[in-house]
Amino acid sequence: MRVVILISGRGSNMRSIIEQSTPNYQVVAVVTNNPSAAGAQYALEQGIQVGVIERHSYGSLAEAKIAVLDRVLEHAPDLVVLAGFMWVLPPPVVAALRGKLINIHPSLLPELPGLDTHKRALAAGFSRHGCTVHYVNEEVDGGPIIAQCSVPVEPSDTEETLADRVLAAEHTIYPLIVNAIATGSVRYADGKVVIQAGAIRDLERSGITVPK
C-alpha cells in the first residue's frame, strides 16, 4: 500500500510510521506546508520525496489548501495520513480523499476536539486521556473513529508530562492502524469503520481499543 504523510512540524508520528514500516506498506512521499519542518529533513534523509506547499506561493490560503490535493495525488496514494498537519483541509479535498484520509488527534474523541487538549484534560480533572485515530470527514476531529489508546492522568502531571505519555501511545497506535489498513483488516465503508474480529483482538493485545 502506498502511503503519503502530511506534516507541519516535528514529525514524530511520521517517523514512527516510517520506522515501523512493514512489507504491507511503503511511505512513498511526505508533503508539508512548512519547508523547515524537522520531520521533512528526516524524511529526506530516509530517501523519501518531500513535497512542499507554501502559503506565499498562492494567491490565498484557500488556494494553497486546494493545491495540497494535487501534490498528494501525484504519488498515487492508497492512504493519506495526517500527522500534525496544521491546516484544516477544505471540503473538496476531504471529499476527493474520502475513505483514504486518516488523522491522529491527541484526546479520546469525542472528548476534547480542537487544540490544547493536554491542558484542557488537566483543567477538567480527567483521570484518563489519550489519542484517537479516525477517518477524516468535513467535521474537524469528527470523522468515524478507528481506534483509541488511553493513558492515565497522574496527579503530578504537567501539560508536558501528560503530552509525552500520550505521544508515546500515538507512536504505538498509528503505525499499527496504518498496517491494519494495508492488510485490509481495517477499512472504510459507507461512512463507517469496519474491522475484522481478529484484528480487534490483535489491537486490544497492544492496549488499543476500538469503538463497539
Q: Quick one: cell of 165?
A: 505519555
In the complex, least distance from residue 167 CB atom to ligand GRF, rounded to whole angstroms: 6
* Total residues found in the chain within this entry: 212
Binding of ligand GRF by 118 (CB under 6 A): no
Q: Which residues pair with 172 in a beta bridge?
A: none
Q: Would you give the end-to-end CA distance of the chain in angstroms?
A: 27
Which residue has the closest beta carbon to ligand GRF?
Answer: 84
Question: Is there binding between residue 104 and ligand GRF (CB under 6 A)?
Answer: yes
Residue 105 is among the residues annotated as catalytic for this protein: yes
Shortest CB 91 distance to ligand GRF, Å: 20
Residue 12 near ligand GRF by CB under 6 A: yes
Q: Side by side, which strands form the sheet with 26-32? A: 49-52, 26-32, 2-7, 79-82, 101-105, 128-135, 145-152, 208-209
User: Which residue type is seen at 168?
Assistant: A
Among 3, 5, 29, 84, indicate the residue that binds ligand GRF (CB under 6 A).
84
Minimum gap (Å) between residue 162 Cβ and ligand GRF: 11
Q: Give residue 81's identity as a one-letter amino acid code.
A: V
Query: Per CB under 6 A, which region of 28-36, 50-58, 101-109, 134-142 contacts ligand GRF?
Result: 101-109
Residue placing its CB nearer to ligand GRF in the complex, 116 or 138: 116
Q: Which of residues 123-142 bind ligand GRF (CB under 6 A)?
A: 131
Catalytic hit among 75, 105, 129, 134 = 105
151 near ligand GRF, rule: CB under 6 A: no
Closest approach of ligand GRF to the CB of residue 184, in Å: 25
Give the one residue of 2, 10, 100, 120 binding ligand GRF; rule: CB under 6 A. Answer: 10
Told to check if 106 binds ligand GRF by CB under 6 A, we report yes
Cβ pair 80, 101 in contact under 8 A: yes
- List residues binding ligand GRF (CB under 6 A): 7, 9-13, 83-84, 104-106, 131, 167, 170
Catalytic site positions: 105
